[in-house]
């Protein structure tokens, strides 16, 4: 049993067609367990469009037998997995099926004290005094073990987060390993990094990460901090603790001295808040919502703690009429539908030059009709599940607001599993700059399409946001790319590409997207007393 969307031919007009009701989306309507439903895929006649043959996909599920889930997990403090002092725990589920995955320890303030003390001790007695050459060996070892256990990490990430295995396998895990490799290379070269002859670590870093890239964010936080000689207490998001805990196991396997890395699972309002407020913390690194980022900035003002914030975004992906359009369409899809759009730098606003708007939207809709939504562990899946129920509610609410404000909503014909948290790829045309869907971060697979006539208008519209994290520019003119990059108020500008990451390339924003950089040499500065 599945809930089916109308086929394009019957009830969708490819130009302007929209699905009618938000109620048809996601959990609860028309039952169908994952793996038993029809994913979003073209409902084409046997010969397909333009006489092309159409091939059905056979299911290609990745085996989950490589993952050995425990029924419960403790906190990782001072090199060992321990029970929380007050014995509290919560459950983590698979967002694609709502199946219980494991019981997870919920750290309280006393556990935070223990973890911060362990990290402080390790920093002063072992990790800080250790030579960069020796620290590098540990980081290289962690990187290599991540590679060795990459399949296990990828499957676990897809189970806990809901993202397609294709992405966890080809993006999250390789980039996590790459970050450890990259910063391992810096550990013995800090005096050549341009921060003076003998740059010193800050001390103990309290690091709070979100649920959209759980392993990758852990690597982005831990690798530069450790390379620079800091020790860490990491708090993963409540809904995605499992790969951070597996990383803790890998850290044990790599024989990292006890206390150098500690992982505290549990609620942000309890463990996260106690961690960042702890007097034993010298540096706070946070990735998550702008709202909590602002709270942290207020709370830390005047404490002398160092702070970096990587917050939300509402990026413009700008397509000029001279762009290679088919390539641009792939970039638009990658920009907003990668990781179900749960990406801070997602290209959630498409700004397309008026002269080609109709063509681009039509090409985009045809391409979206080929996306496959469904089982995250199926290797053919393009879009997986939304990470949690609250996030699904937020996406639904903003999509409904888009319709209510007069934008035209469209999704390809598809069916979604009944159980789990699902939202189809969605495009809004007829969007004005004042609409909520053009201003607020949706953090889901929803694209708002706006048009422009001149480069100046594109810049004005792209910059009309409180955020400043990323942007994309599609044009064949190099001079225009450079001019646009200079005008756009965004920390990262991609040219003829989108959502490309590399450990050597700094990433971060300004305005309400936060401050500080992760990656590259600037990523080291965030963990050194410079």
User: Of 232, 344, 345, 414, which is the active-site residue?
Assistant: 344
Based on the shown chain and the rule CB under 6 A, indicate whether residue 89 belongs to the binding site for ligand NDP: no
Among 178, 187, 292, 392, the residue binding ligand NDP under the rule CB under 6 A is 292
Residue list 11-50, contact with ligand NDP (CB under 6 A): none
User: Of 157, 310, 418, 512, which is the active-site residue?
Assistant: 310
Which residues are paired to 212 by β-bridges? none
Residue list 251-270, contact with ligand NDP (CB under 6 A): 267-269
Give the distance from CA 425 to its chain's centroid.
17
Based on the shown chain and the rule CB under 6 A, indicate whether residue 394 belongs to the binding site for ligand NDP: yes
Q: How many binding residues for ligand NDP (CB under 6 A)?
A: 27
Residue list 404-443, contact with ligand NDP (CB under 6 A): 441, 443
Among 107, 215, 237, 484, the residue binding ligand NDP under the rule CB under 6 A is 237
Q: Give the span between the Cα atoms of 422 and 392, in whole angstroms.
A: 7
Among 77, 251, 273, 318, the residue binding ligand NDP under the rule CB under 6 A is 273
Give the distance from CA 376 to its chain's centroid.
15
Provide the minimum distance between the beta carbon of 299 and ligand NDP in the complex, in angstroms, as a whole number: 8
Provide the minimum distance between the beta carbon of 515 and ligand NDP in the complex, in angstroms, as a whole number: 13
Residue list 186-225, contact with ligand NDP (CB under 6 A): 208-212
- The residue among 166, 211, 164 whose CA lies nearest residue 375 is 164
Pairing of strands 426-429, 408-410: antiparallel
Contact pattern from residue 170 through residue 189 relative to ligand NDP, giving x for each residue in contact according to CB under 6 A and a dash for the rest: --------------------
Measure the CA angle with vertex 503, ends 498 and 506; round to 5°.
Answer: 70
DSSP annotation of 268: I
Backbone angles phi, psi at 285, to 5 degrees: -120, 125
Pairing of strands 446-452, 349-353: parallel
Provide the minimum distance between the beta carbon of 310 and ligand NDP in the complex, in angstroms, as a whole number: 6
Based on the shown chain and the rule CB under 6 A, indicate whether residue 272 belongs to the binding site for ligand NDP: yes
Provide the minimum distance between the beta carbon of 303 and ligand NDP in the complex, in angstroms, as a whole number: 14
- The residue among 30, 56, 251, 217 whose CA lies nearest residue 146 is 251
DSSP annotation of 112: H
Among 184, 233, 344, 446, the residue binding ligand NDP under the rule CB under 6 A is 344
Based on the shown chain and the rule CB under 6 A, indicate whether residue 288 belongs to the binding site for ligand NDP: yes
Tokens of 382: 């393009």
Q: In whole angstroms, how far apart are CA 123 and each of 96, 130, 137, 191?
A: 40, 9, 17, 19
Question: What DSSP line would sit under 69-102, residue for residue?
Answer: --SEE-EEETTEEE--TT--EEEEEETTTTEEEE
**310 is annotated as an active-site residue:** yes
Contact pattern from residue 43 through residue 62 relative to ligand NDP, giving x for each residue in contact according to CB under 6 A and a dash for the rest: --------------------
CB 183 within 8 A of CB 528: no
Among 230, 287, 340, 429, the residue binding ligand NDP under the rule CB under 6 A is 287
Element (DSSP H or E) covering residue 439: helix 436-439
CB 265 within 8 A of CB 104: yes
Provide the minimum distance between the beta carbon of 253 and ligand NDP in the complex, in angstroms, as a whole number: 25
Provide the minimum distance between the beta carbon of 22 and ligand NDP in the complex, in angstroms, as a whole number: 17
Task: Name the one range near ligand NDP by CB under 6 A: 59-67, 166-174, 219-227, 289-297.
Answer: 289-297
Element (DSSP H or E) covering residue 214: helix 214-227
DSSP annotation of 292: H
- The CB density around residue 278, as the number of other CB atoms within 10 Å, is 21
Q: Which lies closer to ligand NDP via its Cβ, residue 165 or residue 392?
A: 392
Chain residues binding ligand NDP by CB under 6 A are 208-212, 235, 237-238, 267-269, 272-273, 276, 287-289, 292, 295, 310-312, 344, 391, 394, 441, 443
Active site residues: 310, 344
């Amino acid at each position: 049993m599945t809930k089916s969307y109308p086929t394009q031919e019957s009830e969708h007009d490819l130009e302007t067609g929209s699905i009618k009701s938000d109620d048809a989306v996601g959990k609860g309507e028309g039952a169908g367990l994952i793996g038993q439903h029809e994913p979003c895929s073209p409902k084409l006649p046997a010969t397909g469009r333009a006489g092309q043959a159409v091939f059905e996909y056979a299911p290609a599920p990745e085996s989950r037998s490589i993952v050995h889930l425990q029924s419960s997990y403790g906190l990782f403090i001072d090199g060992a997995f321990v029970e929380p002092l007050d014995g509290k725990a919560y459950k983590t589920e698979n967002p694609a099926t709502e199946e219980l995955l494991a019981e997870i320890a919920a750290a309280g303030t006393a556990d935070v004290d223990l973890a911060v003390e362990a990290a402080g001790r390790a920093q002063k007695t072992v990790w800080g005094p250790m030579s960069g050459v020796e620290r590098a060996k540990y980081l290289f070892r962690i990187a290599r073990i991540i590679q060795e256990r990459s399949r296990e990490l990828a499957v676990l990430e897809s189970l806990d987060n809901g993202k397609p295995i294709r992405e966890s396998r080809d993006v999250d895990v390789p980039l996590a390993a790459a970050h450890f490799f990259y910063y391992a290379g810096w550990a013995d070269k800090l005096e050549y990094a341009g921060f003076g002859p003998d740059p010193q670590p800050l001390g103990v870093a309290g690091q709070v990460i979100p649920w959209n890239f759980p392993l990758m964010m852990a690597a982005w936080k831990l690798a530069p901090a450790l390379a620079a000689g800091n020790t860490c207490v990491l708090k993963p998001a409540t809904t995605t603790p499992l790969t951070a805990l597996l990383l803790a196991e890998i850290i044990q396997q790599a024989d990292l001295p006890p206390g150098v890395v500690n992982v505290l699972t549990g609620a942000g309002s309890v463990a996260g808040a106690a961690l960042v407020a702890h007097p034993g913390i010298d540096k706070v690194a946070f990735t998550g919502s702008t709202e909590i980022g602002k709270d942290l900035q207020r709370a830390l003002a005047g404490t002398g703690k160092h702070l970096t914030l990587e917050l939300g975004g509402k990026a413009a992906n700008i397509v000029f009429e001279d762009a290679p359009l088919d390539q641009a369409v792939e970039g638009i899809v990658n920009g907003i539908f990668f990781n179900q759009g749960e990406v801070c730098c997602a290209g959630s606003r498409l700004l397309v030059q008026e002269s080609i708007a109709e063509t681009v939207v039509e090409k985009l809709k045809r391409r979206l009709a080929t996306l496959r939504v469904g089982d995250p562990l199926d290797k053919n899946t393009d879009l997986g599940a939304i990470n949690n129920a609250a996030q699904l509610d937020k996406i639904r609410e903003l999509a409904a607001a888009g319709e209510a404000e007069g934008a035209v909503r469209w999704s390809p014909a598809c069916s979604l599993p009944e159980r789990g948290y699902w939202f189809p790829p969605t495009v809004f045309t007829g969007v004005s700059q004042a609409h909520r869907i053009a201003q607020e971060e949706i953090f889901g697979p929803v694209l708002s399409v706006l048009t422009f006539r001149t480069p100046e208008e594109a810049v004005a519209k792209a910059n009309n946001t409180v955020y400043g994290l990323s942007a994309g520019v599609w044009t064949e003119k190099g001079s225009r790319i450079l001019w646009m990059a200079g005008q756009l108020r965004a920390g990262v500008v991609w040219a003829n590409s989108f959502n490309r990451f590399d450990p050597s390339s700094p990433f971060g924003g300004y305005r309400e997207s936060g401050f500080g950089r992760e990656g590259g040499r600037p990523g080291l500065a965030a963990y050194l007393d410079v």
